[in-house]
Amino acid sequence: MTNLAELSVQGAVARLILNRPDQRNALSTDLLAAMHGAVELLEQSRGVTVLVVTGAGKSFCAGMDLRQVLIGDDRATWPGPQLLESLARFTVRLRGLPMVVVASVNGAAIGGGCGLACVADVCVSHADARIGYPEVDLGLCPAVVAPWVIRKVGPGKARRVLLAGGVMTGTEAHALGLVDHLAASVDELAPLTERLVGRLTSGGPTALRATKSLLNALDGSLDEASVLEGARLSAEVLGSPDAQRALSARRT
Amino acid sequence: MIRVEDEGDVRCITIARPDKRNALTTDMLASLGAAFEKTGSMRACVLLGEGPVFCAGFDLHEGAHDERMSALRDQLRGLSRTILAMRSLPCPVVVGAHGAAIAGGCALLGGADLVLADRGARFGYPVVRLGISPAITAPFLRQRVGDGAARAMLLDPGLIDAEGALRIGLVDEVLDSAEQVRHAAVARACALAGKPGVAEAQTRRWCSVLEPVEQAGEALQVSLDAIGRETFERMNREVWSR
């Protein structure tokens, strides 16, 4: 079986690759379980100061797996709420890691995928990446990612982005503040990421950990209650006939 | 090395140690704090740097080779006091951040209401390379640029340029040269001083009530606690032995 979330560690740098390229790295219960497993290892690791999260293939992460968010014939076995809760818990765990987390957004970062980009401490991408929160276009509510978008770009811009739906280019996301450093093209993203990683690993590990820990305290990042509440709200909207109709139409 | 000139109701404070890129010593930080604490009837303050660089941060050669790093601790306390004094003033504060505002120099922008810079200016906190945590500035910086941009700046020892600083809101206005920055900063301060005083003071006070800096003490403590063996070894290698 392929490793859905591929974790490798080289010296002070860990890399986590979402590895479901044929599904544009969409978040399924299996992929999220693998991501939780990787983060668990990182929580116990010593000596890692930087984690880079990226996607295999052309996409970063296309958001929730559409097959799992459709209710189908049997509501009792529908994994929707569990999927959202797993994502919610993952965001807080990722944020709580002691190392600096970089999202290297190599391609489409949609919905929950774009949420992960906002959870990272630093987000790098390229001009042509497609980034955004089209949830409302599909009758969905981006409640899990909302707290992270608000922290990343501020409440005013977050409101605009989350309520307007649609997707934007990497260039637009950079102007908005969602992307911190922008490469001119996809080919230049890897070197840009490596330069950033080089800078980050030059920092004193104790100083970095102390700074990150204070930042998490100041913005209330590790408060799980709001994202779990978001997961419940998001599941409720997802289970509504409106959303299910819009999603079915999208799939066919 | 801190020059204070009152002209009418505008106080102009200049960091004047251009041969050391206006690096701040403990004494300079004490003078700087005092200049913002006792402003009497001033209606605006402007902070400038002499020479090409606004401020390169702390003078890291103060207290060289001291294992306890008392000078660095005193500098951090002085910086925290200075930024708090800037924030506590009833009158607005304009900073002309030309050339470079690095580490402690960049942290001073956290006390400002309006920041001007020139196109070539650079900003950031490379001190994390020396094992120094810039946590002290976090409560102020996040209010100025938001949590996302503050995080990307404080964890990354790299510098950002004036365009990047304008994009995230660290800088409000970008001009062509250091000279223009100095002139414009004084002009903006005079314009602010000319507005009805009670309105300015009450608006500034109200903004501080709505967005208080409650964690300034905690943040200072994080920076103080992070000083240790790692800091000493890196300072010895990168600063004191050169």
The CATH number linked to A84 is 3.90.226.10
Q: What is the mean predicted confidence (pLDDT) over B179-184?
A: 97
The confidence score (pLDDT) of residue A117 equals: 98
Which of B45, B181, B214 lies closest to B101 in space, CA to CA? Answer: B181
Percent of chain B's residues with pLDDT above 70: 100
The confidence score (pLDDT) of residue A1 equals: 55
Q: Closest to A196 (Cβ–Cβ): which among B156, B167, B234? A: B156
The confidence score (pLDDT) of residue A94 equals: 98
DSSP 8-state assignment for residue B51: S
In which region does residue A172 sit, left (phi positive, over 0), alpha (psi from -120 to 50) or beta (all else)?
alpha
- Domain of residue A236: give its range: 5-182+221-251
- Domain of residue B60: give its range: 2-240
Residues of B whose CB is below 8 A from A213? 222
Residue B220 tokens, joined: 């200072």
Residue A12 tokens, joined: 């002070």
B221 contacts chain A (CB < 8 A): no
Q: What is the mean predicted confidence (pLDDT) over B202-224?
A: 92
Q: Closest to A206 (Cβ–Cβ): which among B134, B156, B230? A: B230
Dist CA B58 CA A210 (whole Å): 20
CA torsion angle A21 A22 A25 A28 (round to 10): -140
Which of B76, B78, B99, B84 lies closest to B22 in space, CA to CA? Answer: B99
Which of B69, B128, B214 would best serve as a mutation to test chain A binding (most A beta carbons within 10 A)? B128
A206 contacts chain B (CB < 8 A): yes
pTM score of the predicted model: 0.95
Residue in the block written with tokens 């993952």: A90
In chain B, the number of structural domains is 1
- DSSP character string of B71-135: HHHHHHHHHHHHHHHHHH-SS-EEEE--SEEETHHHHGGGG-SEEEEETT-EEE-GGGGGT--GG
Which of A192, A15, A13, A209 lies closest to B158 in space, CA to CA? Answer: A192
Q: B216: nearest CA in chain A?
A: A218
What does the pLDDT look like over B45-88, one tens digit per residue?
999 999 999 999 999 999 999 999 999 999 999 999 999 999 99
A212 contacts chain B (CB < 8 A): yes
Q: What is the mean predicted confidence (pLDDT) over B91-110?
A: 97
Q: What count of other Cβ atoms lies within 10 Å of the Cβ of residue B60?
A: 21
The confidence score (pLDDT) of residue A249 equals: 87
In chain A, the number of structural domains is 1
Q: Closest to B128 (Cβ–Cβ): which among A121, A181, A207? A: A207
Q: A149: nearest CA in chain B?
A: B148
A108 contacts chain B (CB < 8 A): no
In which region does residue B94 sit, left (phi positive, over 0), alpha (psi from -120 to 50) or beta (all else)?
beta
Whether A175 maps to a domain, the answer reads yes
Which of A91, A93, A87 lies closest to A65 in space, CA to CA? Answer: A87
B146 contacts chain A (CB < 8 A): yes
A205 contacts chain B (CB < 8 A): yes
The confidence score (pLDDT) of residue B40 equals: 85
Mean pLDDT by 10 residues, chain A (252 residues): 90 98 97 98 95 98 92 88 97 98 98 97 98 92 96 96 96 98 98 98 96 96 95 95 89 70
The verdict on a CB contact (< 8 Å) between A214 and B228 is no
Torsions phi, psi for A171 (to 5 deg):
-60, -45
List the CATH number of the domain containing B235: 3.90.226.10
Q: What count of other Cβ atoms lies within 10 Å of the Cβ of residue A214?
A: 24
Q: B56 by DSSP, 3-state: which?
A: coil
A218 contacts chain B (CB < 8 A): yes
Q: What is the mean predicted confidence (pLDDT) over B97-101?
A: 98
Confidence of residue B200 (pLDDT cuts 50, 70, 90): confident
CA torsion angle B17 B18 B24 B26 (round to 10): -20
Residues of A whose CB is below 8 A from B165? none
Q: What count of other Cβ atoms lies within 10 Å of the Cβ of residue B3?
A: 13
Torsions phi, psi for B50 (to 5 deg):
-90, 145
The verdict on a CB contact (< 8 Å) between A210 and B223 is yes
The confidence score (pLDDT) of residue B196 equals: 87
The verdict on a CB contact (< 8 Å) between B157 and A202 is yes
- DSSP character string of A7-26: EEEETTEEEEEE--GGGTT-
What burial class does residue B241 get, using C-beta atoms within 10 Å of its C-beta: 0-12 exposed, 13-18 middle, 19+ buried? exposed
Residues of A whose CB is below 8 A from B131? 204, 206-207
Q: Closest to A210 (Cβ–Cβ): which among B135, B152, B157? A: B135
Residues of B whose CB is below 8 A from A177? 146, 148-149, 167-168
Q: A129 by DSSP, 3-state: which?
A: coil
Question: What does the buried/exposed string (b/e) look like for B212-239 if buried means 16 or more CB atoms within 10 Å of the residue's CB?
Answer: ebebbeebbbbbbebbeebbbebbeeee
**Which residues, in sequence order, are CB contacts of B136 under 8 Å at separation 6+?**
B76, B79, B80, B107, B219, B220, B222, B223
Dist CA B112 CA A243 (whole Å): 47
Residues of A whose CB is below 8 A from B154? 211, 215
B150 contacts chain A (CB < 8 A): yes
User: How many contacts, defined by CB atoms under 8 Å, are there between A and B?
Assistant: 114
A198 contacts chain B (CB < 8 A): no
Q: What count of other Cβ atoms lies within 10 Å of the Cβ of residue A63?
A: 29
The confidence score (pLDDT) of residue A55 equals: 98
Q: A220: nearest CA in chain B?
A: B147
The verdict on a CB contact (< 8 Å) between A177 and B226 is no
* Minimal C-alpha gap between B30 and chain A (Å): 25
